[in-house]
Amino acid sequence: MSGESATRITPGNALRPEDVAERVAGGVQVGEDVGEYALRLGDDALILAQRLGWWISRAPELEEDVALGNIALDLLGHARSFLTYAGSAWGKTEDDLAYWRGESEFRSCFLVEQPNGDFGKTIARQLVFSIFQHELYSRLVDSADETIAAISAKALKEVDYHRDHAIQWTIRLGDGTEESKRRIQAGLESVWPYVAELFQDDELIERLGGVAAHPSEMRAPFDALMAQVLDEAGLELPDVQPAMTGGRGGKHSEHLGYILAEMQVIAREHPGATW
């Protein structure tokens, strides 16, 4: 885990959302399967960014306002790149996709839709998601799709920092006070039913071959690192059944409707406007 700042990516090496938009404008167009896959990647990042953005001005310390804000901002950057790329399959922009799709058209997983709860729950969600996303992007840097590989390469550097942040806080809370230990453990129990969904393969993944990463292959390294972190933090691996989920197929938790209502309200009051 590098100590490099997530905001200091050399411009030449970074693929910004604007660069992806330029590629799309230049005629790069994806097929519907790749588009659908990019939607999954983009929607997870977008919904989690939306959740984390709430913390800015509400965090336990100013340093955490900055850190959680930074993580949200990174995720929003990933979302913008993936959604711009996905949109090329249907002639849509990132904003068309973010603001004008309904709930069932989103492809986000249940985990990122979960409410922030207290800081312990937010960190538990961050721990699960950042370890998963790190495994994912580590594989996607070798994707057969050049744009997905390039977006993932930039994102991976940032997620490395997100994962470090979540691990450090999990250990600190687990080995801090009785109260913090209770809260981070409760946070883990609360998000754990939504872990299994992250690692499910499906037909889309099979059809995409070398473009996508197989979620099921990431479970073992996820479990290994998670066990190591929880051990160091003095926490228990939650013994909780996985919940029935269906985010990838457009069946979401009840939370998504509220998230979208808030996110989309101003844009939808002004159809056709630019900002």
Partner 1 sequence: MATKTQSPRDAQLQPVPSAEDEAGQAYFDKIIAEDSRIEPADWMPAGYRKTLTRQISQHAHSEIIGMQPEANFITRAPSLKRKAILMAKVQDEAGHGLYLYSAAETLGTPRDELFDQLLSGKAKYSSIFNYPALTWADMGAIGWLVDGAAIVNQVPLCRASYGPYGRAMVRVCKEESFHQRQGFEILLELASGTPAQKQMAQDAVNRFYAPALMMFGPNDDESPNSQQSMRWNIKRFSNDELRQRFVGMIQEQVRVLGLTLPDDEIRFNEETGKWEYGELDWNEFYEVLKGRGPCNAQRMERRREAHENGAWVREAAAAYAAKKAQKAQVA
Residues in the site for partner 1, rule: CB under 8 A? 17, 46, 50, 53-54, 56-66, 69-70, 72-73, 76-77, 79-80, 83, 94-95, 98-99, 118-119, 171-173, 175-177, 179-180, 183, 262-263, 265-267, 270, 272-275
Beta carbon of residue 56, minimum distance to partner 1 (angstroms, whole number)? 5
212 φψ region: left (φ > 0), alpha (ψ -120 to 50), beta (else): beta
What's 246's DSSP letter?
B
Q: In whole angstroms, give the CA distance from residue 83 to residue 46.
A: 9
Nearer to partner 1 by Cβ, of 213 and 260: the residue is: 260
Beta carbon of residue 93, minimum distance to partner 1 (angstroms, whole number)? 9
Nearer to partner 1 by Cβ, of 8 and 270: the residue is: 270
Beta carbon of residue 214, minimum distance to partner 1 (angstroms, whole number)? 29
Beta carbon of residue 219, minimum distance to partner 1 (angstroms, whole number)? 30
What are the phi and psi torsion angles at 45 (to 5°)? -65, -40
Query: Which residues are within 8 A (CB) of 46 and not within 5 positions of it... i.e. 6 or more apart?
Result: 75, 76, 79, 83, 98, 108
DSSP element (H, E) containing 151: helix 146-174
Nearer to partner 1 by Cβ, of 99 and 221: the residue is: 99
Tell whether the torsion through CA atoms of 35, 40, 43 and 45 is positive or negative. negative
Beta carbon of residue 167, minimum distance to partner 1 (angstroms, whole number)? 13
